[in-house]
Amino acid sequence: MFVQRSLLILVTLVLLVCGPVARAFDENVYGEEGSAKFKEGPKWQEQDVVLPAYPHADNLIEVPLSLRDFPFTLWIDSASLDVGEDRVVRYTGVLRSEAGAENVFYEGIRCAKKEYQRYAYGSGGEFQPLQRPQWRRIRPVGQDRFRAVLMDGLLCPLPGYDREQQLVDRLKARKRRNF
């Protein structure tokens, strides 16, 4: 008798809790084809971008890439590293060839979409902004390979707090592990 009564109470509680959940699966939520009709959240909006100061040698962190047939050394300017309200990681990078030639650029990585956007090139100690920067997919091949390394555990996923400092710490830790 006690077992039956306990079972009845348990079934009643389950129905009270699960009843509203079951209603979520009716035709108001799922269309005729069974696909969910999700309510769209606010559309992602990129924040306005302000170019940082040109990088100084004492702020550069070498990022070991360990990429085969990639004749460049990557440096990230710790002073420019920024995580925006739009969740884009922006940084100044310096790619230095074995011969000493440098390619300086300011760009952002959108971790959630695995995309990057270059905002400016550096030349003569100052940045030259691009007229129409565009988001491009990060590919693990060709000259994009360094971005794939950055995205894979260094700049992404985004830390939960004190983001810029944690990203700098990740970059410095990578340097210590590889040398």
Cα distance between residue 85 and residue 149, in whole Å: 23
Give the DSSP per-residue string, 8-69.
HHHHHHHHHHHHHHHHTTSTTTB-TTS-B-PPP-PPP-PPP----PPP-GGGEEEE----TT
Residue 38: predicted pLDDT: 58
Cα distance between residue 47 and residue 69, in whole Å: 36
Element of type H or E holding 165: helix 163-178
Q: With pLDDT > 70 as the criterion, what percentage of the chain qualifies?
A: 73
Pick from 19-28, 75-84, 88-97: least confident: 19-28
pLDDT single digits (tens) 29-64: 434 444 555 566 688 899 999 999 999 999 999 998
Q: Nearest Cα to 147, choosing from 113, 99, 97?
A: 113
At 107, is the secondary structure helix, strand, or coil?
A: strand
Q: Which domains does the chain have, with CATH numbers?
A: 1-39 (no CATH), 57-178 (2.40.128)
pLDDT single digits (tens) 108-147: 999 999 999 999 999 999 999 999 999 999 998 888 889 9
Which tokens is 99 given? Answer: 């011969």
Q: Nearest Cα to 75, choosing from 52, 51, 58, 53?
A: 58
Cα distance between residue 108 and residue 80, in whole Å: 11
